[in-house]
Structure 1
């Protein structure tokens, strides 16, 4: 092995070791528990009044509690405890803005849940307390099983109205869990709501699973499986469970990434020698080699406009981030700081990229401003990896260690907001944030 290929071989081995690590076997599908570990001191006070209901109607969930929790997790809002509310209006006529102003609330949310032939009709209204004006209102129909998702959609509508950014409460997160070791190893690829509820197992295996990647419509996941003792790339439809084998060549089959229009899948293959970047047309099945270098090229990721692909390569002697046209061609080095930069992906606006960077022997999450060429650290752990942007670009989820266990964490791009996502048992890693749900 040449000195040029050794660092990236170590990277590939490092990734595999992480996927093989595990703890004791569990029988149920635990949900992710979210702990807010940091927020913004100037979070906006907001009151979400418990929703009114038709007489005798008992909704399956507490809509106001879910909306409040969603807004609190953004770090930008501080919901008022229900016990501190002077009254609980459910209609515009019942609102006394003077009371809410005296309580220091900037905004107020009221709502009602009514019966509907399809399940429930949920209405809400958002007010500006100091101006005593209505900012937004809507009515949504929901089934019993969809009530949590309806609450998330309302939280997102409130968040967008008050911040100008899309909310992500109604999105989902894909992640890999592992329990046990050796012959008792159990690995699953799961999808859960952004608040950790409704976890669903997409695939289970006694071999490693890694690199989940969402399709742009949020309906499919690409991932790498070692279930047949060798790496292979699959695409799986979430609604039906139907999956398709798309790459099972000799050697490495890894790092799948959908193009923004969903018609192509970038990946790393070593079928022709060293690991290189390839693009598979998902319609014609034509496979195109995009890099052809003696070094290791891996971990491709598309720009939001589909014109560029960034990837990890050690062609300069150490793992660094490079950019090339999506059709292939010359590559430009983007990362300049440090001797290890890998696993990069674009922000939704294309102005920055997030990556794993090594700082004094610790692996941290870094954000590179592409216009200024300046790197800013976003995490403080010793082994932080697999960063993924939320679809609104405000948050990043990544894998890290907490008390010796693999967990997930989120941090805001602007700083100040942080959370930790854990399970009661087992390791959690390889997170991927879904696109916005429309």
Structure 2
């Protein structure tokens, strides 16, 4: 989407929120979204660019793995990029060192290089074509071994193995669970075809889950990571589907009169909350994924949309213009009066709640710019964590340490990840492509 189209989209979205009060407005909004989506450029290969400096980054050296030059993936580079992207580590150059997991490190030399931790390893191709991957993690300061990694994988799983290794190292050194072996979902358009992609957490290794000549929007991961819910326009109207990724089987979950949009899974995976206009207006309904009559949750004269669950499933956060401008509210899933959550500014949308329940990320219009915000839910304190001005659709990592969102950087569309303080960001961007609607999946079993 070029700058002019983006600004038109935003101004139209603003007008929609301020002027519309009936169900026709949601249809108009979706129609504008559809029109603009048809002008998105094609998907292209990702690259990861990490920027920023954290306050307490651990200095880490990763030596190129012995034997990886003959493999299709540079495991050590993937490993290091993962750890840097987390914001917890600062890379110490280990490219000139020659060692593997069986070597005895010269701890004095590595201390002189200011490294606190060291990783080295090897890839050995076996007779059956698989790879034996081995690595060790050393505590340079203490001069001792901290952990070992061993796995035999196919060439196709080299990237996944590197992500799993990064998860182990991250947990060893921080005490928190790593998210590098998790996945993200997002949508692209190339020529006249829309594609729903599932990719590694760094955006690489994308696999198409669905392709269609009609728009696909609002992907949402199930709690187990086995399914995606999304909205497809293939019936010439917005219809909600659930999609089993392993088999490719799809199921229509909401195809009621009017629009069916903005699905999100309940934490127990048994239901979705979505926006339906079946009864007039655009209101939130709970929909059992096995079928049955939806249960209406909200009763307002405005538009209620973009639902997001609290981690325990007891509360639903959502956006409503019931007060005259889009603000974020919450209400018990069991029913009750909505409570307003955002008060600063006149335009706050796209809430998402961290899995640990501590944070809410959302987008706020500030001085005509759309900025990613982070709210501490216990105190209500809010900070802006981006330097960009066209942020959209945040989604937390399953360990609550990072957030992914869509934005525009130097005139180009991009996916970004950021630490919660905004100090470390990683750009996952195509050379000439556009990617939208990111959603970060759960931990993989």
Give the structure-2-normalised TM-score.
Answer: 0.89
Q: How many angstroms apart in 2 are the aligned matches of 1:392 and 1:8?
A: 37
RMSD between superposed Cα atoms in Å: 2.6
For 2:145 and 2:23, locate their aligned partners in 1 and report how far apart those are by CA, in whole Å: 56
CA shift for structure 1 position 356: 1.2
Q: 3-state SS of the aligned residue for 1:274? A: coil
More off after superposition, 107-116 vs 286-295: 107-116
Would you say 1:139 and 2:130 are equivalent positions? Answer: no
| 2:59 is the counterpart of 1:48 | no
| Cα pair distance change 1:167/1:8, threshold 3 Å | farther
Give runs of aligned pairs for residues 3-22 of structure 1, distance below 5 A: 5-6=20-21, 17-18=32-33, 20-22=36-38
1:420 equivalenced with 2:427 (yes/no): yes
- Residue 232 of structure 2 is matched in structure 1 by 225
Residue 313, structure 1, aligned to residue 323, structure 2: no
Match of 1:104 among 114, 125, 138: 114
Residues 30, 199 of structure 1: 8 Å contact kept: no
* Cα distance in 2, alignment partners of residues 238 and 374 from structure 1: 38
Q: Secondary structure at the match of 2:156?
A: coil
What 5-or-longer segments of structure 1 have no aligned partner? none
Aligned residue in 2 for 1:123:
134
CA contact (8 A) 1:50 1:65 kept: yes
One of 42, 48, 62 as aligned partner of 2:74? 62
Contact 2:183 2:201 in 1 (8 A): yes
Match of 2:44 in 1: 30
Deviations 1:158-193 (CA, angstroms, capped at 9, x unpaired)? 11211222222111111111245xxxx432211111
Match of residue 74 from structure 1:
86
How far 1:145 sits from its partner (Å)?
A: 1.1
Give the total of aligned pairs: 428
Q: Distance in 1 between matches of 2:377 and 2:28?
A: 29
The secondary structure found in structure 1 opposite 2:155 is coil
Q: Secondary structure of the equivalent of 2:393?
A: strand
The answer on whether the counterparts of 2:27 and 2:259 sit within 8 Å (CA) in structure 1 is: no
- Please tell me whether residue 292 in structure 1 is matched to residue 299 in structure 2: yes
Which residue does 1:355 correspond to in 2?
362
Residue 202 (structure 1) aligns with: 209
Counterpart position of 2:173: 162
Is the contact made by 1:175 and 1:431 (CA closer than 8 Å) also made in structure 2? yes
Question: For 2:159, what is the secondary structure of its paired residue?
Answer: helix
In structure 1, the partner of 2:390 is 383
Distance 2:120 2:60 in 1: 11
User: 1:196-236: per-residue Cα shift (whole Å, max 9, x none)?
Assistant: 22111222222221111001111211111112210100111
- The answer as to 2:430 corresponding to 1:437 is no
Looking at structure 2, the residues matched to 2 and 140 of structure 1 have their Cα atoms a distance apart, in angstroms, of: 52
How far 1:413 sits from its partner (Å)?
A: 0.4
CA distance in 2, matches of 1:60, 1:404: 33
Select between 95-104 and 260-269 the one with higher mean Cα deviation. 95-104
Residue 50 to residue 83, structure 1, CA distance change in 2 (3 Å)? closer
